[in-house]
Amino acid sequence: MAAAAVGAGRGLWAWMARTRLGRWCQALVQDYAAALRETAQSARQRPLASAVTAAALSGAAACGSSVPSAESFEAAVVEAAGSLLVLSPGTRSPGAERHVQRLLRRREAGRLRYCHLVLLAVVYEAPCSASAQLYASRCRYLQPLWRQAPARLLDVGFCGRWWLLRHRLRDYDVNEDEFRALPPHLHCLEPRQLHSEHNERLFLQKYEPAVLGDGIAGEEEEA
């Protein structure tokens, strides 16, 4: 019975190979095998170009898999607003605060749009809310102009980060307007001019108990 089953199986595969679908699958497998052989031969002949191509494809795949989502952008905006809120108005960066407030206003009005572009994502400003049906009209006067695209672009996200928001929030707790009245040579300080570790060490030393020397102790005993 086992031999009969094997024979029946061979007959089934032979019948499937004779059908149109079987011939198409067989031709497809042969084409893929030939392409793999040619790729391997080309890689042996030009190893440097093959390595560069493989690295580029790997980088593209990594970028495509780490594209941030629309929810991550909204969470980043809310987190940035909370970080600015805990600061006093005098210490907030005006540029960071204006950018975050702009994003919050567009978000509340429903004018933020998210677009996934395979390797990166963009967030741009729409001329109206998604719930408004007026701009769905085909009238060209109601459609946004392509020349306004750079001004409407709000952020670009790739490698898991929103880069424009990250750039605007750099030193968000430093108000540069407070230093405009200083002389030009004090507008920028080098790390060696801060001496933060030395100052912190001196600040902690004032809480340490005083230690009297031998000479001071001898004078106190004579007194």
Domain ranges of the chain: 70-178
Could you tell me the pLDDT band of residue 1, with boundaries at 50, 70 and 90? Answer: very low
Mean pLDDT of the chain: 78
Please tell me the predicted confidence (pLDDT) of residue 5: 43
Q: Is the pTM value of this prediction over 0.85?
A: no
pLDDT-wise least confident of 38-47, 83-92, 142-151:
142-151
| Res. 45: pLDDT tops 90 | no
pLDDT tens, position by position, 122-164? 998 887 777 766 655 555 665 665 566 677 888 898 888 899 9
Q: Which tokens is 37 given?
A: 């052989």
| Region of residue 45 (phi > 0: left; psi between -120 and 50: alpha; otherwise: beta) | alpha
* 5/75: higher pLDDT: 75
Tell me which residue of 138, 167, 172 sits closest to 155, measured CA to CA: 167
CA 158 to chain centre: 4
What CA dihedral angle connects 180, 183, 184 and 189, to 10 degrees?
-90
16 and 25 in contact (C-beta within 8 Å)?
Answer: no
pLDDT band at 101 (very low <50, low <70, confident <90, very high): very high
Reply yes or no on whether the pLDDT at 9 is more than 60.
Answer: no
Q: How far is CA 117 from CA 67, 68, 121, 152, 190, in A?
A: 9, 11, 5, 17, 41
Mean pLDDT highest for which of 39-48, 165-174, 211-220? Answer: 165-174
Predicted pLDDT of residue 103:
92
